[in-house]
Amino acid sequence: MTVHQTLSTAPEAPVPAKATRVQFMAEDDKAMLRAARDLTKGLGEAKASIYWPDMLLSAGIGYAGIAAAILAQSLAVQLAAGLVAALALYRALMFIHELTHIHRDALPGFRTGWNLLVGIPLLTPSFMYEGVHTIHHKRTQYGTVEDPEYLPLALMKPWSLPLFVIVAILAPIALIVRAAVLVPLGALIPAVRNLTWERFSSLQINPEFRRRPPEGDLIARVRWQEAGVFVWSWLLIGSTQIVGWKPLVIALAIVSLTAVLNQLRTLVAHLWENEGEPMTVTAQFLDSVNVPPPGLAAEIWAPVGLRYHALHHLMPSMPYHDLPEAHRRLARELGTGSTYEGANHPGLLVLVGRIAKSTMGAKAG
Protein backbone atom coordinates (compact mmCIF):
# COMPACT_ATOMS: atom_id res chain seq x y z
CA MET A 1 0.00 0.00 0.00
CA THR A 2 1.37 3.39 -0.95
CA VAL A 3 1.70 6.33 1.38
CA HIS A 4 -0.97 8.12 -0.67
CA GLN A 5 -3.38 5.20 -0.22
CA THR A 6 -2.69 5.06 3.48
CA LEU A 7 -3.46 8.76 3.90
CA SER A 8 -6.56 8.66 1.74
CA THR A 9 -8.11 5.76 3.64
CA ALA A 10 -7.28 7.01 7.12
CA PRO A 11 -10.37 7.97 9.14
CA GLU A 12 -11.06 11.67 9.33
CA ALA A 13 -10.53 13.37 12.66
CA PRO A 14 -13.85 13.95 14.44
CA VAL A 15 -15.18 17.50 14.23
CA PRO A 16 -15.36 18.92 17.77
CA ALA A 17 -18.88 19.73 18.96
CA LYS A 18 -19.70 23.42 19.20
CA ALA A 19 -19.85 24.96 22.64
CA THR A 20 -23.39 25.44 23.93
CA ARG A 21 -25.20 27.58 26.46
CA VAL A 22 -25.85 24.57 28.73
CA GLN A 23 -22.12 23.98 29.28
CA PHE A 24 -21.61 27.46 30.76
CA MET A 25 -24.77 28.09 32.81
CA ALA A 26 -22.84 27.92 36.09
CA GLU A 27 -19.38 29.20 35.18
CA ASP A 28 -17.94 31.54 32.55
CA ASP A 29 -15.20 30.78 30.08
CA LYS A 30 -12.84 33.22 31.74
CA ALA A 31 -10.15 32.75 29.09
CA MET A 32 -12.52 33.92 26.38
CA LEU A 33 -13.63 36.90 28.43
CA ARG A 34 -10.01 37.90 29.02
CA ALA A 35 -9.27 37.53 25.32
CA ALA A 36 -12.22 39.73 24.45
CA ARG A 37 -10.84 42.39 26.76
CA ASP A 38 -7.20 42.13 25.76
CA LEU A 39 -7.53 41.62 22.01
CA THR A 40 -9.85 44.57 21.43
CA LYS A 41 -7.65 47.24 22.95
CA GLY A 42 -7.58 50.27 20.70
CA LEU A 43 -11.17 49.72 19.60
CA GLY A 44 -14.35 51.14 21.12
CA GLU A 45 -14.46 54.83 20.16
CA ALA A 46 -17.68 55.83 18.39
CA LYS A 47 -16.66 57.82 15.31
CA ALA A 48 -18.90 60.67 14.20
CA SER A 49 -17.33 60.48 10.74
CA ILE A 50 -18.96 57.05 10.34
CA TYR A 51 -22.19 57.39 12.32
CA TRP A 52 -23.47 60.62 10.79
CA PRO A 53 -22.95 59.83 7.07
CA ASP A 54 -24.29 56.30 7.48
CA MET A 55 -27.44 57.43 9.28
CA LEU A 56 -28.07 60.45 7.00
CA LEU A 57 -27.53 58.47 3.80
CA SER A 58 -29.76 55.63 4.98
CA ALA A 59 -32.57 57.99 6.01
CA GLY A 60 -32.22 60.04 2.81
CA ILE A 61 -32.45 56.97 0.57
CA GLY A 62 -35.39 55.71 2.61
CA TYR A 63 -37.44 58.88 2.29
CA ALA A 64 -36.52 59.28 -1.37
CA GLY A 65 -37.70 55.71 -1.92
CA ILE A 66 -41.04 56.46 -0.26
CA ALA A 67 -41.48 59.52 -2.48
CA ALA A 68 -40.60 57.50 -5.59
CA ALA A 69 -43.07 54.77 -4.63
CA ILE A 70 -45.84 57.32 -4.12
CA LEU A 71 -45.15 59.11 -7.42
CA ALA A 72 -44.42 56.00 -9.53
CA GLN A 73 -46.78 55.31 -12.45
CA SER A 74 -45.54 51.72 -12.85
CA LEU A 75 -46.25 48.96 -10.34
CA ALA A 76 -42.77 47.49 -10.93
CA VAL A 77 -41.11 50.83 -10.17
CA GLN A 78 -43.34 51.28 -7.15
CA LEU A 79 -42.42 47.87 -5.75
CA ALA A 80 -38.70 48.37 -6.41
CA ALA A 81 -38.72 51.82 -4.80
CA GLY A 82 -40.69 50.49 -1.85
CA LEU A 83 -38.21 47.67 -1.27
CA VAL A 84 -35.22 50.04 -1.40
CA ALA A 85 -37.01 52.43 0.96
CA ALA A 86 -37.85 49.68 3.44
CA LEU A 87 -34.25 48.40 3.53
CA ALA A 88 -32.77 51.89 3.87
CA LEU A 89 -35.21 52.93 6.61
CA TYR A 90 -34.53 49.64 8.37
CA ARG A 91 -30.84 50.48 8.50
CA ALA A 92 -31.55 54.04 9.65
CA LEU A 93 -33.92 52.79 12.34
CA MET A 94 -31.38 50.31 13.71
CA PHE A 95 -29.24 53.17 14.98
CA ILE A 96 -31.67 53.24 17.92
CA HIS A 97 -29.73 50.20 19.16
CA GLU A 98 -26.47 52.16 19.08
CA LEU A 99 -28.05 55.06 20.98
CA THR A 100 -28.72 52.83 23.98
CA HIS A 101 -25.06 51.83 24.30
CA ILE A 102 -22.86 54.76 23.31
CA HIS A 103 -21.70 57.04 26.10
CA ARG A 104 -23.99 60.04 26.55
CA ASP A 105 -21.10 62.42 25.82
CA ALA A 106 -20.08 60.60 22.62
CA LEU A 107 -21.33 61.88 19.26
CA PRO A 108 -22.71 65.27 20.37
CA GLY A 109 -26.09 65.96 18.78
CA PHE A 110 -26.44 62.51 17.23
CA ARG A 111 -29.27 61.38 19.52
CA THR A 112 -31.27 64.54 18.85
CA GLY A 113 -30.53 64.43 15.13
CA TRP A 114 -31.55 60.78 14.87
CA ASN A 115 -34.81 61.44 16.71
CA LEU A 116 -35.70 64.40 14.49
CA LEU A 117 -34.80 62.63 11.23
CA VAL A 118 -35.74 59.02 11.97
CA GLY A 119 -37.23 58.29 15.38
CA ILE A 120 -40.09 60.79 15.36
CA PRO A 121 -40.96 60.45 11.64
CA LEU A 122 -41.19 56.66 12.12
CA LEU A 123 -43.04 57.17 15.43
CA THR A 124 -40.31 55.21 17.23
CA PRO A 125 -38.36 57.75 19.30
CA SER A 126 -35.28 56.64 21.16
CA PHE A 127 -36.92 56.62 24.60
CA MET A 128 -38.80 53.49 23.50
CA TYR A 129 -35.47 51.64 23.65
CA GLU A 130 -33.39 53.65 26.10
CA GLY A 131 -33.63 52.32 29.63
CA VAL A 132 -35.30 49.16 28.31
CA HIS A 133 -32.71 47.48 26.12
CA THR A 134 -30.07 47.72 28.85
CA ILE A 135 -32.17 45.35 30.99
CA HIS A 136 -31.66 42.76 28.24
CA HIS A 137 -27.92 42.97 28.93
CA LYS A 138 -28.05 42.68 32.71
CA ARG A 139 -26.28 39.63 34.05
CA THR A 140 -29.15 38.49 36.28
CA GLN A 141 -32.07 39.45 34.03
CA TYR A 142 -31.16 38.33 30.52
CA GLY A 143 -33.40 35.45 29.44
CA THR A 144 -35.61 35.67 32.54
CA VAL A 145 -39.23 36.83 32.86
CA GLU A 146 -37.87 40.31 33.67
CA ASP A 147 -36.18 40.60 30.28
CA PRO A 148 -38.32 42.76 27.93
CA GLU A 149 -36.60 41.33 24.85
CA TYR A 150 -36.65 37.61 25.52
CA LEU A 151 -39.14 34.83 24.87
CA PRO A 152 -38.27 31.11 24.78
CA LEU A 153 -39.42 30.95 21.16
CA ALA A 154 -37.56 27.69 20.47
CA LEU A 155 -39.63 26.03 23.19
CA MET A 156 -43.01 27.40 22.12
CA LYS A 157 -45.64 26.02 19.73
CA PRO A 158 -44.75 25.88 16.00
CA TRP A 159 -47.46 28.40 15.07
CA SER A 160 -45.87 30.98 17.36
CA LEU A 161 -42.98 31.62 14.93
CA PRO A 162 -44.99 32.83 11.89
CA LEU A 163 -47.31 34.73 14.20
CA PHE A 164 -44.31 36.41 15.84
CA VAL A 165 -43.15 37.74 12.44
CA ILE A 166 -46.52 38.49 10.80
CA VAL A 167 -47.85 40.55 13.71
CA ALA A 168 -45.17 43.14 12.91
CA ILE A 169 -47.21 44.14 9.83
CA LEU A 170 -49.55 45.99 12.19
CA ALA A 171 -46.76 47.93 13.91
CA PRO A 172 -47.22 51.24 11.97
CA ILE A 173 -50.95 51.33 12.71
CA ALA A 174 -50.32 50.57 16.38
CA LEU A 175 -47.71 53.36 16.55
CA ILE A 176 -50.11 55.88 15.01
CA VAL A 177 -52.86 54.93 17.50
CA ARG A 178 -50.38 55.22 20.34
CA ALA A 179 -49.08 58.64 19.30
CA ALA A 180 -52.34 60.20 18.07
CA VAL A 181 -54.78 58.78 20.61
CA LEU A 182 -53.14 57.29 23.71
CA VAL A 183 -50.55 60.03 24.24
CA PRO A 184 -53.06 62.94 24.32
CA LEU A 185 -55.55 60.91 26.35
CA GLY A 186 -52.78 60.07 28.78
CA ALA A 187 -52.10 63.78 29.25
CA LEU A 188 -55.64 64.09 30.58
CA ILE A 189 -56.27 60.72 32.23
CA PRO A 190 -53.58 59.35 34.59
CA ALA A 191 -54.79 55.74 34.24
CA VAL A 192 -54.36 55.89 30.45
CA ARG A 193 -50.97 57.54 30.86
CA ASN A 194 -49.77 54.80 33.21
CA LEU A 195 -51.11 52.03 30.95
CA THR A 196 -49.51 53.59 27.87
CA TRP A 197 -46.16 53.91 29.59
CA GLU A 198 -46.11 50.47 31.19
CA ARG A 199 -47.39 48.46 28.22
CA PHE A 200 -46.96 50.48 25.01
CA SER A 201 -43.83 52.61 25.38
CA SER A 202 -41.13 49.97 24.92
CA LEU A 203 -39.83 47.97 21.99
CA GLN A 204 -40.42 44.68 23.78
CA ILE A 205 -41.44 41.16 22.82
CA ASN A 206 -42.12 39.87 26.33
CA PRO A 207 -45.84 40.52 27.01
CA GLU A 208 -45.30 40.18 30.76
CA PHE A 209 -42.86 43.10 30.93
CA ARG A 210 -44.06 46.28 32.64
CA ARG A 211 -41.95 49.39 32.24
CA ARG A 212 -41.05 51.41 35.31
CA PRO A 213 -41.50 55.22 35.34
CA PRO A 214 -38.70 57.23 33.69
CA GLU A 215 -35.96 58.68 35.84
CA GLY A 216 -33.30 61.37 35.58
CA ASP A 217 -32.44 62.81 32.17
CA LEU A 218 -34.83 60.41 30.44
CA ILE A 219 -37.86 62.31 31.79
CA ALA A 220 -37.13 65.41 29.70
CA ARG A 221 -36.34 63.34 26.62
CA VAL A 222 -39.62 61.46 26.94
CA ARG A 223 -41.60 64.70 27.11
CA TRP A 224 -40.24 66.31 23.97
CA GLN A 225 -40.17 63.09 21.99
CA GLU A 226 -43.78 62.29 22.96
CA ALA A 227 -44.77 65.80 21.89
CA GLY A 228 -42.96 65.22 18.61
CA VAL A 229 -44.70 61.93 17.75
CA PHE A 230 -48.08 63.39 18.76
CA VAL A 231 -47.71 66.35 16.41
CA TRP A 232 -46.26 64.24 13.59
CA SER A 233 -49.00 61.59 13.85
CA TRP A 234 -51.71 64.22 13.42
CA LEU A 235 -49.83 65.83 10.54
CA LEU A 236 -49.85 62.43 8.83
CA ILE A 237 -53.57 61.98 9.48
CA GLY A 238 -54.31 65.56 8.40
CA SER A 239 -52.37 65.11 5.17
CA THR A 240 -55.04 62.70 3.95
CA GLN A 241 -57.48 65.61 3.72
CA ILE A 242 -55.16 67.36 1.28
CA VAL A 243 -53.55 64.61 -0.83
CA GLY A 244 -55.86 61.70 -0.08
CA TRP A 245 -55.12 58.39 1.62
CA LYS A 246 -52.92 56.81 -1.05
CA PRO A 247 -49.58 58.41 -0.02
CA LEU A 248 -50.07 57.52 3.63
CA VAL A 249 -51.14 53.96 2.82
CA ILE A 250 -48.04 53.46 0.63
CA ALA A 251 -45.76 54.89 3.30
CA LEU A 252 -47.34 52.69 5.98
CA ALA A 253 -46.94 49.61 3.77
CA ILE A 254 -43.23 50.38 3.38
CA VAL A 255 -42.77 50.90 7.11
CA SER A 256 -44.66 47.63 7.70
CA LEU A 257 -42.09 45.84 5.57
CA THR A 258 -39.35 47.49 7.62
CA ALA A 259 -41.02 46.23 10.81
CA VAL A 260 -41.30 42.70 9.41
CA LEU A 261 -37.61 42.72 8.46
CA ASN A 262 -36.69 43.75 11.98
CA GLN A 263 -38.95 41.11 13.50
CA LEU A 264 -37.42 38.44 11.28
CA ARG A 265 -33.95 39.54 12.42
CA THR A 266 -35.15 39.45 16.02
CA LEU A 267 -36.36 35.89 15.48
CA VAL A 268 -32.77 34.77 14.78
CA ALA A 269 -30.89 37.17 17.06
CA HIS A 270 -30.85 34.48 19.76
CA LEU A 271 -31.41 30.75 19.96
CA TRP A 272 -34.24 31.39 22.46
CA GLU A 273 -33.59 28.15 24.35
CA ASN A 274 -33.51 29.44 27.93
CA GLU A 275 -36.46 28.71 30.22
CA GLY A 276 -36.04 31.66 32.54
CA GLU A 277 -32.87 30.76 34.41
CA PRO A 278 -30.19 33.41 35.06
CA MET A 279 -27.14 32.84 32.85
CA THR A 280 -23.45 33.61 32.92
CA VAL A 281 -22.06 36.05 30.36
CA THR A 282 -20.69 33.10 28.36
CA ALA A 283 -24.08 31.35 28.36
CA GLN A 284 -25.74 34.57 27.17
CA PHE A 285 -23.13 34.83 24.44
CA LEU A 286 -23.78 31.27 23.26
CA ASP A 287 -27.55 31.83 23.34
CA SER A 288 -26.93 34.75 20.97
CA VAL A 289 -25.99 34.70 17.30
CA ASN A 290 -23.12 35.87 15.11
CA VAL A 291 -23.48 35.50 11.33
CA PRO A 292 -19.95 36.51 10.28
CA PRO A 293 -18.52 36.77 6.75
CA PRO A 294 -18.22 35.43 4.14
CA GLY A 295 -21.51 36.47 2.63
CA LEU A 296 -23.11 39.89 2.25
CA ALA A 297 -26.73 38.95 2.93
CA ALA A 298 -26.39 39.40 6.69
CA GLU A 299 -25.34 43.02 6.15
CA ILE A 300 -28.81 43.58 4.69
CA TRP A 301 -31.02 41.70 7.15
CA ALA A 302 -28.83 42.42 10.21
CA PRO A 303 -27.42 45.91 9.55
CA VAL A 304 -25.47 48.31 11.80
CA GLY A 305 -23.36 45.56 13.34
CA LEU A 306 -26.27 43.27 14.26
CA ARG A 307 -24.76 40.37 12.33
CA TYR A 308 -22.35 40.25 15.31
CA HIS A 309 -25.12 40.10 17.90
CA ALA A 310 -23.41 37.51 20.11
CA LEU A 311 -20.19 39.53 20.10
CA HIS A 312 -22.27 42.57 20.99
CA HIS A 313 -23.51 40.72 24.09
CA LEU A 314 -19.90 40.04 24.98
CA MET A 315 -18.94 43.72 24.54
CA PRO A 316 -22.14 45.84 24.58
CA SER A 317 -20.39 49.21 24.39
CA MET A 318 -18.37 48.36 21.27
CA PRO A 319 -19.56 50.65 18.42
CA TYR A 320 -20.94 48.86 15.38
CA HIS A 321 -18.14 49.93 13.07
CA ASP A 322 -15.52 48.21 15.29
CA LEU A 323 -17.34 44.88 15.63
CA PRO A 324 -15.96 43.38 12.37
CA GLU A 325 -12.37 43.99 13.45
CA ALA A 326 -13.08 42.74 16.97
CA HIS A 327 -14.54 39.57 15.49
CA ARG A 328 -11.52 39.03 13.21
CA ARG A 329 -9.12 39.35 16.14
CA LEU A 330 -11.04 36.96 18.38
CA ALA A 331 -11.69 34.39 15.65
CA ARG A 332 -8.04 34.42 14.60
CA GLU A 333 -6.68 34.13 18.13
CA LEU A 334 -9.17 31.68 19.65
CA GLY A 335 -9.54 29.51 16.54
CA THR A 336 -11.63 26.54 15.51
CA GLY A 337 -13.30 24.58 18.29
CA SER A 338 -13.19 27.49 20.74
CA THR A 339 -16.08 28.68 22.85
CA TYR A 340 -16.12 31.81 20.72
CA GLU A 341 -16.80 29.79 17.59
CA GLY A 342 -19.88 28.31 19.25
CA ALA A 343 -21.85 31.51 18.66
CA ASN A 344 -21.07 31.67 14.92
CA HIS A 345 -23.82 30.49 12.57
CA PRO A 346 -23.99 30.24 8.77
CA GLY A 347 -27.08 32.24 7.90
CA LEU A 348 -30.72 33.26 8.26
CA LEU A 349 -32.37 30.17 6.77
CA VAL A 350 -30.29 27.77 8.86
CA LEU A 351 -31.20 29.67 12.03
CA VAL A 352 -34.92 29.78 11.19
CA GLY A 353 -34.79 26.06 10.45
CA ARG A 354 -33.09 25.35 13.78
CA ILE A 355 -35.69 27.27 15.79
CA ALA A 356 -38.56 25.73 13.79
CA LYS A 357 -37.14 22.26 14.43
CA SER A 358 -36.91 23.04 18.15
CA THR A 359 -40.58 24.09 18.25
CA MET A 360 -41.55 20.80 16.61
CA GLY A 361 -39.59 18.97 19.27
CA ALA A 362 -41.29 21.02 21.98
CA LYS A 363 -44.67 20.14 20.47
CA ALA A 364 -43.80 16.46 20.44
CA GLY A 365 -42.67 16.69 24.05
> Could you report the per-residue pLDDT of 232-266, keeping only the tens digit for each?
999 999 999 999 999 999 999 999 999 999 999 99
Q: How far apart are CA 140 and CA 150, in angstroms?
A: 13
For residue 168, being part of any structural domain is answered with: yes
The torsion of the CA quartet 309, 315, 316, 318, rounded to 10 degrees, works out to -100
Residue type, 124: T
Count of domains forming the chain: 1
For residue 8, being part of any structural domain is answered with: no
For residue 321, being part of any structural domain is answered with: yes
Mean pLDDT on 83-110? 95
For residue 18, being part of any structural domain is answered with: no
Residue 4: which pLDDT band, with cuts at 50, 70 and 90? very low
pLDDT, tens only, 308-326? 999 999 999 999 999 999 9
CA distances from 282 to 33, 37, 243 (A): 8, 14, 54
For residue 35, being part of any structural domain is answered with: no
Q: How far apart are CA 202 and CA 32, in angstroms?
A: 33
Average pLDDT, the chain: 92
CA distances from 187 to 25, 120, 179, 194 (A): 45, 19, 12, 10
Q: How far apart are CA 42 and CA 38, in angstroms?
A: 10
Degrees (nearest 5) of the Cα angle 107, 315, 210? 85
Q: Is the pLDDT reported for residue 12 higher than 90?
A: no
Q: Which is nearest to 176 in space by CA: 247, 218, 232, 135?
A: 232
For residue 24, being part of any structural domain is answered with: no
DSSP string, 217-251: HHHHHHHHHHHHHHHHHHHHHHHHHHH-SHHHHHH
Look up the domain containing 95 and give its range: 47-364
For residue 342, being part of any structural domain is answered with: yes
| Residues 6 or more apart whose Cβ sits within 8 Å of residue 344 | 290, 291, 292, 310, 331
294 cis-preceded (ω within 30 degrees of 0): yes
For residue 166, being part of any structural domain is answered with: yes
